[in-house]
Chain A
Amino acid sequence: MNSKKTNNQNIKDFLFALIKNKWALTSIIWLFIIIAIAIFASQLAPFDPNKNNIMERVAPPLTLDKQGNMKYLIGSDALGRDSFSRLIFGAQVSLIVGFSAVLVGGILGTALGVYAGYYGKWIDDIIMRLADIQLAFPFILLAILFLVVLGEGLINLIIVLGIGQWVTYARIARAQTISQKEKEYVEAAKALGVNNFSIMFGSILPNIFAPLIVIASFNVASVILAEAALSFLGLGVPPQIPTWGAMLAESRDHIFAKRWWMPFFPGMAILLTVLAFNIVGDWLRDYLDPRLKEVE
């Protein structure tokens, strides 16, 4: 009963703080819009994103049809596919990959980090040496190597990007666990004979969740950027699935024809989405714990 009340109070505080920060609020609203666009893509898109129309290739933005109605809002691509519809569907891959990879990396990294911090000694050594090894790779290159071998596919992309993220979470979770494990509540739980697993993930984890959430928010941003880069290089999902990165890659052939709209819109879509995640992350960090400023 009591805890429920404080929970409600917490949510109220959170919402008040959010409303007071206009940038964070705008970003959250924007993210909800993007998520809605991704979910209702097939209802919202004016055309089938894969329907070719050889007669109407590389149409400029605001192209009208014969009746004078809007046909290609932001133009069409080299195969005559409607860019606006592809942009709308592109939100799906970015968001699915962004959230899923962060979930994979976050769970893996947090689990390993808590283990390392809680048990210390050789478990800690092994996990942290693994982290060193991972950090020695420029991540994009490692992802390229694995994706070239594994071939294209959404699941492959999520797994490779997800595994690439674990180190950040592991380091934070480990440091936080070390600082928590000497506290009274952990001692008390140990004295009561609670098993280690429950202590780690039942008692300690909720107390170290705040910095991990902050990291996750920034991390979605960087995963979306990485996904765009990989799609740009022709890796990731099969080519018939529209992605913002692939749209940028296709636009490369039209730079010298000065068709600025072809790279402009997908790039803006990436920029605004990533920016929103970064702003929310920044705000969350300040809100949850001003001392976390150093964590990044």
Chain B
Amino acid sequence: MKKNNLPENKNLDLIRALIIKHKKNDHIFAGIGFFVIASLAVALLVLFLDLLINGYPKINLEFFSNFPSRKPEMAGILSAWMGSALVLFVTFFVAVPIGVAAGIYLEEYAKKGWFADLIEINVSNLAGVPSIIYGLLALGLFVYEFGMGQSILTAGLTLSLLMLPIVIVSTREAIRGIPVHIREAAFAVGATKWQVTWHHVIQYAMGGVLTGIIIGMARAIGETAPVITIGALTFIAFLPPSPVTEVAPFINFDWLDAGFTVLPIQMFNWISRPEHAFHINAAATGAVIIMLTLLMNGVAIKLRYNIRKKIKW
């Protein structure tokens, strides 16, 4: 074949020009992407550093072990972080089983059709509903209709409603990512549908599911509006009854019924006070909330990484 065939050469040039052009587009897109990510990261960093620098003098052991007080230097977030922790505990144990089960059902068992489509659209939409709407729903349903009062249980259930769509969607995404041949191989050796789901699908999807759970929890920890709506307290200087007791059966559920406050409410209260010293407390609380969120997201990434490493297809 002759090398310098003219028309072919012209084609080659055209193709090269095309490649160069597309590569340039690639670079432009990557540049824009980097710029967007970088500006978001910088914004978060500036915000976080600002809170940290302002709140730094308050972030010590006493801040975590003191109750709120009218004296800013003595005020702490004990009841607030305890409240947040207990509420999230309830949220976790309600939203995770229901959310994962719903995700598996929708992906593995539900018949595809208009009904499944309807549910799918609804679940996706629920993930975008403003949180105050969940608060109003919970106020009418949990607080008054079911008579649960302004308790940790109510708040936990409310936040689990908020978290459910996130868990369901991420479970489904994770399950969809499992190659069909894994399933087919399991079926081929005679596994039942449940065995396939339990031994394979859930195991492989776990990384994605965990990520969804923790991102959902990280969202729940910062939520203020629905918790205020259901009537969380602002000043509470005692802890709920302990979940662990000294006599059999060693656990009790009285704490579910207790009043509570959460970190964002405590922060909001302090930021609106006239004294500047309280604003420092608010900044410290904000830094704590962001650190908790970052910690949770970090754990999610680490868990996902570990689980993915173990899977060898």
Partners in one complex: no
